Structure 1
């Protein structure tokens, strides 16, 4: 098992190189869409992650699977980048590279990532309200939402932006009330 810190250190130069290629060809958003798709796929499929991380599977087999996954609409430069990761035996850092690329893209676009945890999926109006709250907190130009469901919250939301956490959940309100009452 590789350490997360080592993986991030290996992934950083690759993410920066991918960003450099994307900027020089005016493809930052297209690469961002491809990276988001791959991150989602890798999060959903344990089998795919295991396959790509297996050092005993030849590179040609990994390339064939990647080509099948990507389809025809993926930019050739992005596809070639993935083939380079296979050739350099760095495909195991694919998820980290894509996540770091997306972080660089958010920084470039002055967009912040808000991780929103709620008891139920948020409606479009609620998502917009969260975006407005985060923009007011951070002065960012745009907000990208990452939503998670936690049935234990009962109601409300927890919003995490960087190191800031806004706990507007019913569970959090009850905990604060309990602390105030026990402190009296």
Structure 2
């Protein structure tokens, strides 16, 4: 199975458009020997999307013209000092009216990078953001348990109340407070 097939199989929810753009970005970053810088800048773009509802509206809304999106996005990228490969790439995506694919492109790029590095992705959802120390400890625990290098895709879902949900491939461990409370509620209904 080729590297591309592995990535495609890992995340079927990523569109073909996102996969093609991510592959092009990865190939360019590899050619320019800028994988780590590209990964960091994409992480910064992803963080901006996560923190700003206005930015997500700009990304997802078909109401804005390409010129309006490009003007607003250029200002955001300039303020965040995201230049070079990622700055230019995001502008190209915007000019091509594919800005709505940016979240999928970032996810696809991370998947391609994970396969390239020989790692496995662990999707970790927590009620609050995990500290760097927590992520490092979790990564080490998962590596010990699975015998593979692990890349963590961390998400926050306040509805979990506490604990973690960890998914690696088809395996999932749900130690969230929400799930424990739901189990308790079911058990109490059976008793009552």
Normalised to the residue count of structure 2, the TM-score between the two structures is 0.71
Alignment CA distance shift 1:78-1:137 (3 Å): same
State the 4+ residue runs in structure 1 displaced beyond 6 angstroms.
Answer: none
Give 1:142-161 correspondences, 5 Å limit.
142-144=150-152, 146-150=154-158, 152=160, 156-161=163-168
How many Å separate the matches in 1 of 2:135 and 2:147? 17
Kindly indicate whether the alpha-carbon contact (under 8 Å) linking 1:157 and 1:167 is maintained by their aligned counterparts in 2.
yes
Match of 1:112 in 2: 120
Any idea what the Cα deviations from partners look like across 1:112-170, whole Å, max 9, x if unmatched? 332334456656665444222211233222432515354655x6433222321123456
> Contact conserved, 1:85 with 1:91, CA < 8 A, in 2?
yes
TM-aligned CA distance change 1:121 to 1:43, over 3 Å: closer
The CA deviation at 1:9 is 1.9
Q: Distance in 2 between matches of 1:88 and 1:124?
A: 36
RMSD: 3.2
Structure 2: runs of 5 or more not aligned: 1-11
In our comparison, the structure showing a higher alpha carbon Rg is 1
Q: How big is the shift at 1:98?
A: 1.3
TM-score, normalised by the number of residues in structure 1: 0.74
In structure 1, the gaps of 5 or more residues are none
Paired residues of 1:7 and 1:93 also in contact (CA < 8 A): no
